[in-house]
Structure 1
Amino acid sequence: MATNEDLYELPDDRAALLLRDAMDRTTADLPPLPDLVGPARAQGRRRKARVRVAIGGGALAVAALALAGAVAPPGGGGGPQAGGAANVAAPPSSSAPPPPVHLEPTPGQSSMADLPAAERIRQEDFQNRAVGVLQGLLPPSVGTVRRTDLSVRLYQGSKDDKAFVIIFSVRPAEPADTGSPCHEARGEVCARATLPGGIEAAAATAPVNDGNVTETRLSFRYGKSKVSLVVSPHDASNTSAPVTNDQLLHLAKSPAFLDLVKSADAEPVEKQQQTIPGG
């Protein structure tokens, strides 16, 4: 048998032949190699089948979660057993307008309940829009703004057990009515401002009742209508209207308020006030 030293002294081709012969003799007594191709192919098929089953199971699980989220009641329990990610917050209750303040009509006076159903719904819709605008633009001192069920022009602000009557009116006007009186008499304090579109508006704070309290009012002419907004005092506690002239003039410049006025001017919710000659 050739040694390593002998191999180093032989030509390259002769050394290669001897090395191959030695390797053949060394491996002749070893058992044959197992067939790896067949089992590997079978194992690959089994693995692919398991992957398909896993993918199908995952898709079914996703579909089940989606179905559970679709049929779950709004605002349902959001504990860990509910799945967590499937929870969707319900709309806040504040998105719904507060219920109206009920006011009993005086003898001979009509209320919104006497209106035809379609007109009552139209006026209530306008009131709800007005509540949203007034609540956002009047100062917090006025409190929570609510509509009343007596008249489309009557609202109420409530804070600290005090109720402030609010009159918001957009009424068809006579041509001579400028809609912005400002007298500055009998203790009245007046302020003026120019609204978008060159509209002249006036706000006034004036003593009422026995003169110990004041109301604050805004007025101007818009299109074919006379616009007025009045915040009255709380008589029982001798509390003046909790809003200033400047605050009402700032409110009048708001696009949201002017859009509300524009809609009422185009489709009036009030009738034109009748003037009695000599009255």
Structure 2
Amino acid sequence: MSTREELNEAPDDTAALLVRDAMDRTTADLPPLPDLTGPARAQGRRRKARVRFAIGGGALAVAALGVAVAALPADTSGRQVSGRINVAAPPSTTAPQPQPPVPVHIEPSPGEESMADLPPAERAKQEDFQNRAVPVLQRLLPQTVGTVQRTDLNVRMYQAKKDGKTFVIIFSVRPAGQWTGAKPCLQQVKGMVCTNATLPGGIEAKASTMPMDNGGVTGTELSFHYGRSDVRLTVTPHTESNTSAPVTNDQLLELAKDPVFLDLVKAADTDPVEKEQQTIPGG
């Protein structure tokens, strides 16, 4: 009788024994199976660790998302408003503003007043004008004049230094009083070179190079009338080194045409920083 016929006719227990006997005969000649218990346990432990790590990371991400959503503003109904989460930037530190340069100290002569003798408000006003004037003069005067600085003696007085030489600069915007402006170059004094020019707005101006200090050196001066004020800009020589003022008439007239310089003059004419002229200067 064949195996199939035995399975069909035998009871259930007999059929199970026959199947097991057939399987044993089939695998009898096969090599023994390797021991997979150790590697399987190791792989299982690694897989379990990865799962725990993934679960932990997911929980942290969900918690962070919850905090971020909670930080979003809510509308009037209490619902969270979706949108980009902005992280506040750290407060910016404001850089300290540069302080104005310390003025050149000039000791007043006996009986002479200085800016230190002025009321605090007037002194602050004059110092502010000087601090505005210095960069304008520095930019518009030729480089041969040197570095321009204000002084603490008088609002009109500045200095320029170049190669150890000091050139005094007088920049004055004074209420006119009786004087009505510079006279044109009609008659020239011996040794004087005078040049006329018309500034913006039809303002007549003149620049003069004239002998100073017993005629050994020359200084240069610009003069014109603006609004209610008389304007003078003088560069004096450096007597000790026998050096004339290193600026020409044409250079001063070009300076006078610059809008920045005229704006400075206009400011001093509108809000004077000097007292009204009481005497009539020559020229």
Alignment of 1:156-175 (within 5 A): 156-175=159-178
Verify: 1:233 aligned to 2:244, yes or no.
Answer: no
The residue aligned with 2:137 is 134
Give 2:61's match in structure 1, choosing from 50, 60, 64. Answer: 50
Counting aligned pairs with the same residue, the percent is: 61
Off by >4 Å, runs of 4+ in structure 1: 43-49, 54-57, 59-63
Give 1:99's match in structure 2, choosing from 97, 102, 105. Answer: 102
Residue 206 of structure 2: SS of its match in structure 1? strand
Could you tell me whether the CA contact under 8 Å between 1:171 and 1:225 is conserved in 2?
yes
Verify: 1:123 aligned to 2:126, yes or no.
Answer: yes
Which structure has the bigger radius of gyration? 2
Aligned positions, number: 211
Verify: 1:113 aligned to 2:116, yes or no.
Answer: yes
Could you tell me whether the CA contact under 8 Å between 1:167 and 1:228 is conserved in 2?
yes
Give 1:147's match in structure 2, choosing from 139, 142, 150. Answer: 150
Q: Deviations over 1:68-119 (max 9, x none)?
A: x636x95xxxxxxxxxxxxxxx76x5xx432111011111111111111100
Q: Distance in 2 between matches of 1:101 and 1:128?
A: 13
2:117 partner amino acid:
D
Give the C-alpha shift of residue 49 in structure 1: 5.3
Could you tell me whether the CA contact under 8 Å between 2:184 and 2:196 is conserved in 1?
no
Residue 243 of structure 2: SS of its match in structure 1? coil
Q: What TM-score does the superposition give when structure 2 sets the normalisation length?
A: 0.67
Give the C-alpha shift of residue 62 in structure 1: 5.9
1:50 partner amino acid:
A
Q: CA RMSD for the aligned pairs?
A: 3.0
Q: Distance in 2 between matches of 1:231 and 1:54?
A: 73
2:174 partner amino acid:
R
Q: Distance in 2 between matches of 1:261 and 1:198?
A: 15
Residue 250 of structure 2: SS of its match in structure 1? helix
Q: Distance in 2 between matches of 1:98 and 1:44?
A: 66
Q: Deviations over 1:133-162 (max 9, x none)?
A: 111111111111111111010000011111
Verify: 1:224 aligned to 2:233, yes or no.
Answer: no
Residue 221 of structure 2: SS of its match in structure 1? strand
Q: What TM-score does the superposition give when structure 1 sets the normalisation length?
A: 0.68
Give the C-alpha shift of residue 230 in structure 1: 0.1
Give 1:184's match in structure 2, choosing from 188, 194, 199. Answer: 188
Q: Give ranges in structure 2 of 5+ residues lacking alignment.
A: 1-53, 72-84
Q: Give ranges in structure 1 of 5+ residues lacking alignment.
A: 1-42, 75-89
Judging changes above 3 Å, is the alpha-carbon distance between structure 1 residues 193 and 56 closer, same or farther for their aligned structure 2 residues? farther
The residue aligned with 2:24 is none
Q: Deviations over 1:31-90 (max 9, x none)?
A: xxxxxxxxxxxx799658537749989x99965xx43x636x95xxxxxxxxxxxxxxx7
The residue aligned with 2:247 is 243
The residue aligned with 1:209 is 213
Judging changes above 3 Å, is the alpha-carbon distance between structure 1 residues 55 and 119 closer, same or farther for their aligned structure 2 residues? farther
Q: Distance in 1 between matches of 2:190 and 2:65?
A: 87
